[in-house]
Amino acid sequence: MSGTDDPLIEPDRLAAELARPDAPTLLDVRWRLAGPPGRGDYVAGHLPGAVFVDLDTDLCGPPGAAGRHPLPDPAVLQAALRAAGVRTGHPVVVYDGGDGLAAARAWWTLRWAGHRPVRVLAGGWPAWCAAGLPQTVEVPTVTPGDVTVRPGALPVLDADDAAALAAADDGVLIDVRAAPRYRGETEPIDPVAGHVPGAVNLPAPGYVTEGRYPAADVLRDRFAAVGVRADGPVGAYCGSGVTAAQAVLALHLAGRPDAALYVGSWSGWVADGSRPVATGPTPGG
């Protein structure tokens, strides 16, 4: 991959691009699952020219039956992206606090919304700081963008799709949560423990470390170990569709840009008590 088709960008290259007259639009999406909101981090210091976008309220819909981080309303998303200065066809770079989770979900959301030229700052804010690159507390004056949200540019699974994929002979549904959650031994967030029957487990550390991804051939081997092939349907889920978006980004790097995200993930699956739940170390429980 090269240019804006590559979903990752290193700090030094981003710094060079930001120095150009038509620099990429820069979105700060720092976020923590358990809070507090990332805006305080942004106020304390951020990349020059970056605009803060809130994962919970701008990039996702309100929690409910569709999960804790469901798809956003397209009109709400469009308004948020325009307010942040996102322009049709103009490159966007997103960054977070370094774990790569919120940035991957932002990358996925913009791509799903039809905005293709979007990249993730590899290593996020810590990598930028470690490189000794400029920081600021100044909030930029934003010229509103004109992006139009066109949902559906990346594949999405709902609960029925996830169940079908998990049961398919030629497909793989990956649960990227920690193994004890997959096995049903513990569930710190959602009301029911276990996994989607038929799903395989590949916890996030198997394909990413602190927002950094191994080489494409290593990623292919690690996904192949849980049954992912060069073809055949593949999807991913986690607790609420954030960590799984990072898995979709890793699959993209591994040569599977058709990988689907189960946005509702486990929080959406267990919202309906009639859905089956598997426990134990194997896909079937």
pLDDT of residue 4: 42
pLDDT of residue 35: 83
pLDDT of residue 115: 98
Distance linking the first and last C-alpha atoms of the chain: 39
10-residue mean pLDDT profile of the chain (285 residues): values are 70 97 97 90 98 97 96 98 98 97 98 98 97 97 97 97 95 98 97 98 93 95 96 97 98 97 98 96 91
Domain 156-269 homologous superfamily, CATH: Rhodanese-like domain (3.40.250.10)
Specify the domain boundaries for CATH 3.40.250.10 within the chain.
Answer: 3-130, 156-269
pLDDT of residue 45: 98
Q: Which residue has the tokens 């267990």?
A: 270
Element (DSSP H or E) covering residue 64:
none
Radius of gyration of the chain (CA): 18
User: What is residue 198's DSSP assignment?
Assistant: T
Of the listed 55, 94, 103, 238, which one is catalytic? 238
Spatial distance between the Cα atoms of 248 and 258, rounded to a whole number of angstroms: 9
This prediction has a pTM of 0.96
pLDDT of residue 1: 41
DSSP 154-192: S-EE-HHHHHHHHH-TT-EEEE-S-HHHHHTS--SSSSS
DSSP 87-155: -TT--EEEE-SSSSHHHHHHHHHHHHTT---EEEETTHHHHHHHTT---B-PPPPPPP--------SS-
Amino acid code (one letter) for 69? H
Total residue length of the chain? 285
Question: According to CATH, what is the number of the domain 3-130?
Answer: 3.40.250.10
Q: Is 129 a catalytic residue?
A: no
